[in-house]
Amino acid sequence: MPHHFNNYVAGRWVPAASGRSVENRNPANTDDVVGVFPASGAEDLNEAVAAARAAYERWRKVPAPVRALKVQRAGELLRERKEEISRQMTREMGKVIAETRGDTQEGIDTAFYMAGEGRRLFGVTTPVELPDKFGMAFRRPVGVAGLITPWNFPMAIPTWKVFPALVAGNAVVIKPATYTPATVCELGLILEEAGVPPGVFNVVCGPGSTVGEAMLEHPGVDVISFTGSSEVGRHINEVAGKKLKRVSLELGGKNAQIVLADADLELALEGVLWGAFGTTGQRCTATSRLILEEKIHDKFVKKLLDSAAALKLGDGLDESVQVGPLVSATQRETVHSYVEVGKEEGAELALGGEFYEEGECKKGYFYRPTVFLGVKPTMRIAREEIFGPVLSVFKVRDADEAIEVLNDSSYGLSSSIYTRDVNLAFRAVEDLEAGITYVNGPTIGAEVHLPFGGVKDTGNGHREGSFTVFDVFTEWKTVYVDYSGKLQRAQLDVEE
Ligand code: UN1
């Protein structure tokens, strides 16, 4: 009997108003039904927003350190249930158990970090130009936050948004990704148990075309935070922008790792294997381009092909498996169609490029780790986000050309350079057009207390993680207190 999940609205677990539901299956084994979820629509979303608006009025009055204690409690519960949540996450999303443990851990880290931020939420005090007058600015909640989250980090990304939104005093309505609602429902159970009052946190499961669209249009939603593709992000910005909602977008990437000739090549190899094939390439920070200095190109490629060919594919619950399936049949078709495009464009397919259907794997959406050589910056496989285990390799003359090739992209999320030359490393830090640069580390692996986000088409200037996330979930209130007992006119009565 598959587990039946419900929406969480106004502190109650309820089915979709229409009574409709959808089944979710394990991408590693489609015989395994992970759960049955509400197929919600605008009506369900409207109820959730109404609940959130009502709850917001009380929640915003709760002192931030007290709100933060609930988030801390949620972190403790997440820690207690880490294994169980991570195992379910592997079944629902496919990535290997070590990585789903990491995903849950990101949620725990965010909870504890945000629990501390509840006692800071720093504002500004500053001298003012008139005597006997005081000036300050502090952060207030925005109101109701509408969150739309992706399937590749089913716990980490929702918690990056939910915990700071709650600590800042907002009420939340979240629409989890259609492929991974179970993890967000677990988060709902945890927040309920942690004592977050009814209506402050609401979950509405369903497709973007109904629930998501209704959220963008709803006048009761003040801020939208979305992580996903640039295409959907553009649409969200258009619709919600017309309503003058604040919109925070974390979008695609086409991240590259540079390896210069002086680098520790073994280290660089480990880095690219993890960056390109970890999470089966389904991270917005995944390494999808590898830029090699020509002097080491052939030697490095040989090692790369040998090591990538040896990666073990399979069900992510098997601890020895290194690469899980893609999340869905559609995702696998997309990845495969890019491989066809790469071949037509004249890149050399050196590894993979096909479905992996050995033994039990034929029941899932497995794809062989794939490497293209001789890729040119103009090719589509060099420019478009594939979101799968496909690595495009470039050969360059020197560091200058490497930086140029890395920057020749419409995206700018993560970047990496392997070199032992400190001068070149700092030049790259300065010149790489990306929100994140790793020196001697792969493009994946951001920590929760540093700003996360990118430039160019990767987003619209916001940063999650760290205290910068409060720029998404708070409004500034500026306060002047004049205790002079007389009218003092700024700019006019200033004695120089
Ligand atoms: C994402 O793929 O959207 O830095 C987020 C990383 C992870 C988060 C990735 N901590 O790779």
**How far, in Å, CA of 457 to CA of 454, rounded?**
8
CA distances from 191 to 45, 75, 159, 198 (A): 19, 9, 11, 10
The neighbour count for residue 158, using CB atoms within 10 Å, is 26
* 259 contacts 265 by C-beta, under 8 angstroms: yes
The DSSP secondary-structure symbol of 263 reads S
Residues constituting the chain: 496
Mutate-to-test residue for ligand 1 from 109, 155, 452, highest number of ligand atoms within 8 A of CB: 452
pLDDT tens for residues 321-353? Answer: 999 999 999 999 999 999 999 999 999 999 999
Query: Ligand 1, closest atom to CA 156?
Result: 8
What is the Å distance from ligand 1's center to 284 Cα? 6
The alpha carbon of 398 is separated from its chain's Cα centroid by a whole number of angstroms, namely: 33
State residue 187's pLDDT score.
98
pLDDT on residue 435: 98
**All structural domains of the chain with their residue ranges:** 7-251+459-479, 255-439
- Compute the distance between CA of residue 105 and CA of residue 191 in angstroms, rounded to an integer: 16
According to CATH, the topology of domain 7-251+459-479 is: Aldehyde Dehydrogenase; Chain A, domain 1 (3.40.605)
Distance 137 CA to ligand 1 centre (A): 32
Residue 284 annotated to the active site: yes
pLDDT tens sequence across 101-121: 999 999 999 999 999 999 999
CA of 490 to the centre of ligand 1 (A): 47
- Choosing from 250, 293, 385, 464, which is the catalytic residue? 250
CB 388 within 8 A of CB 281: yes
| Active-site annotation holds for 250 | yes
* Atom in ligand 1 nearest the alpha carbon of residue 102: 10
Domain boundaries 255-439, CATH class: alpha beta
Q: Which atom of ligand 1 is nearest to the CA of 282?
A: 2
Which of 103, 282, 284 has the most ligand 1 atoms within 8 A of CB, as the residue to mutate? 284
Cα of 57 from ligand 1 centre, angstroms = 33
Which of these is catalytic: 99, 185, 284, 464?
284
Give dist(CA 142, CA 164) in Å, integer.
12
Cα of 464 vs centre of ligand 1, distance in Å, is 11
Low-confidence residues in the chain, pLDDT < 70: 1
Tell me: the pLDDT tens digits for 379-421?
999 999 999 999 999 999 999 999 999 999 999 999 999 999 9
With a Cβ cut-off of 6 Å, ligand 1 is lined by: 106, 152-153, 157, 227, 283-285, 444-446
Residue 185 CB neighbour total at 10 angstroms: 23
Q: What was the pLDDT predicted at 2? A: 73
Cα dist. 306→191, 269, 310, 351 in Å? 46, 11, 6, 9
Q: Which residues contact 470 (CB under 8 A, 6 or more apart)?
A: 117, 121, 139, 164, 168
